Amino acid sequence: MSMYLEKELVSVGKRENNKKRNYLVIDPLQGKHIPVKPGKALKLFDALADTFINEYKDEDILLIGFAETATAIGAEAAIRLGARYIQTTREMIPGVEYLFFSETHSHATEQKLVKDDIDKVIDKVSRVIFIEDEVTTGNTIINIINIMEELYGINVKFSVASILNGMTEEHLKIYRERGIRVHYILKINHEEYGRIAEEYHENGNYEACDISSQSVNHVNEVSFGGWADTRRLVDASDYEKYCKALWKDIESTFALDESERILVIGTEEFMYPALFVAAQMEKKGCAVRCHSTTRSPIAVSTDHNYPLQTRYELRSLYDKDRVTYIYDIDSYDRVFIITDAHSVDKAGINSLVHAIEKKNRDVNLVRWC
């Protein structure tokens, strides 16, 4: 019996220009598209870890989180287990080989895993657990399991854990026959989601991208070392220490008042450190919300019960030619952008700051890279 109700974890959004699937399942507690209290997001991720933590106590585990949306879920679950962790990525990492596979229904289908790191660890682990926000068919995960089995000829067990599971009995049967364990918090049925999405009007507020440096107020930019990149293999216990060090650097640099309303924004695949820092601010007594920029182009609507009202078009901090988005920015006393983007090109940061400054004035950019 799930401790969460469907209405707490499922909002149906309308995909823009996606003929493969017209809807998107948006989780209000995940900290991606909808601003969330960070403690609520981490509690949800811990609840997912709790669905399997006792079953694999004696096993040596590698957790793999899926970009973009499950990167933070995977990191938190790995920390909970004290396991090895790596995420898939759509970014280019110089000097490495990849395992390539695809998400057929996604707007950005190319998923990659750093093969060099899997090579190093695959003989040492007894189980690989794939972490997702939602599993619909399970085909993407089957694809990568097939690739790994063909490449390594391994005797490793596989499991899948997701907040939501929308797999049909037909798809679940394939998993059972292959001995792939399935864990989830909430079972959902997708049958009505397409119809629900189709009924919404795309009449929300669409804010165009502004990459100019004109009229951007002064942004307080700081950089901290000690970065750990989960696109590469990490030990989750070490990763937690690095995130704690980042928080200490931020806490000692910025005098936080517990009466403040604060927004913390992560960037694309880089979600977990933003949520972690936001949760520490929340523990200090601040009223904090956290969400992240995303590649997902979702329609916005003023219709009753629709999850997103305003969409800001941006340029990526990682690639000035990539279009990204952020949704529903409110007014806060202070805003923190936390990113591991190295880019010195200003298009990405200018567009994000322009979006934030429509309702906010105190903007701080924290680079951890």
Tens of pLDDT, residues 173-193: 999 999 999 999 999 999 999
Q: In what order do the strands lie in the sheet with 181-187?
A: 181-187, 157-165, 127-135, 61-65, 84-87, 234-235
**Of 130, 165, 199, which residue constitutes the final position of a domain?**
199
Q: Is the pLDDT of residue 352 over 50?
A: yes
- Evaluate whether 161 touches 52 at the Cβ level (below 8 Å): yes
* Percent of the chain with pLDDT strictly greater than 70: 97
Answer whether residue 145 is part of any domain: yes
The predicted structure's pLDDT at residue 1: 61
Q: Looking at the predicted structure, is the pLDDT value of residue 103 above 70?
A: no
Residue 109, pLDDT above cutoff 90: no
Q: For 321-351, what is each residue's pLDDT tens digit? A: 999 999 999 999 999 999 999 877 899 999 9
First to last CA, the chain: 41
**How does the average pLDDT of the chain come out, rounded?**
94
- The confidence band for 107, taking pLDDT boundaries of 50, 70 and 90, is very low
Q: Are 304 and 220 in the same domain?
A: yes
Q: Which of 199, 228, 250 is the last residue of a domain?
A: 199
Q: Is residue 102's pLDDT more than 80?
A: no
- Do 135 and 258 reside in the same domain of the chain? no
Rounded to an integer, the average pLDDT of 184-204 is: 96
Q: Are 318 and 266 in contact (CB under 8 A)?
A: no
Residue 342 lies in a domain: yes
Name the domain count of the chain: 2
- For β-strands 11-14 and 23-26, DSSP reports them as antiparallel
User: Is residue 25 assigned to a domain?
Assistant: yes
Q: What is the mean pLDDT of residues 245-263?
A: 96
Tell whether 1 is covered by a domain: no
Q: Is the pLDDT of residue 18 over 80?
A: no
Q: Which CATH number covers residue 50? A: 3.40.50.2020
* Total number of residues shown for the chain: 369
- pLDDT > 90 fraction of the chain, expressed in percent and rounded: 89
pLDDT in the model for residue 171: 96
259 and 300 fall within a common domain? yes
Stretch among 80-84, 98-102, 299-303 having the lowest mean pLDDT: 98-102
User: In 178-235, where does DSSP find H-type helix?
Assistant: 193-199
Tell me the pLDDT band of 100, cut-offs 50, 70 and 90.
Answer: confident
- Which structural domain range is residue 241 located in? 205-368
pLDDT digits (tens, 9 = 90+) for 213-245: 876 777 999 999 999 999 999 999 999 999 999
191 shares a domain with 226: no
The answer on 225 and 168 residing in a single domain is no
34 and 179 share one domain: yes
Asked if residue 246 belongs to a domain, the reply is yes
| Residue 237, in any domain of the structure | yes
What pLDDT shows up at residue 104?
55
* pLDDT band at 115; cut points 50, 70, 90: very high
- What order of strands is seen across the sheet that includes strand 205-207? 205-207, 310-315, 323-327
239 lies in a domain?
Answer: yes
Query: Distance (Å, rounded) from C-alpha 365 to C-alpha 16?
Result: 30
CB 319 within 8 A of CB 89: no
Lowest mean pLDDT among 62-66, 144-148, 233-237, 243-247: 144-148
Query: Which residue among 155, 184, 199 closes a domain?
Result: 199
Paired strand residues for 184: 162
Q: Are residue 183 and residue 301 in the same domain, yes or no?
A: no
Q: Is the pLDDT of residue 106 over 60?
A: no
Statement to judge: residues 60 and 172 lie in one domain: yes
Calculate mean pLDDT across residues 32-43.
Answer: 98
φ and ψ at residue 32, rounded to 5 degrees: -105, -70
Report the CATH number that the domain containing residue 271 is assigned in CATH. 3.40.50
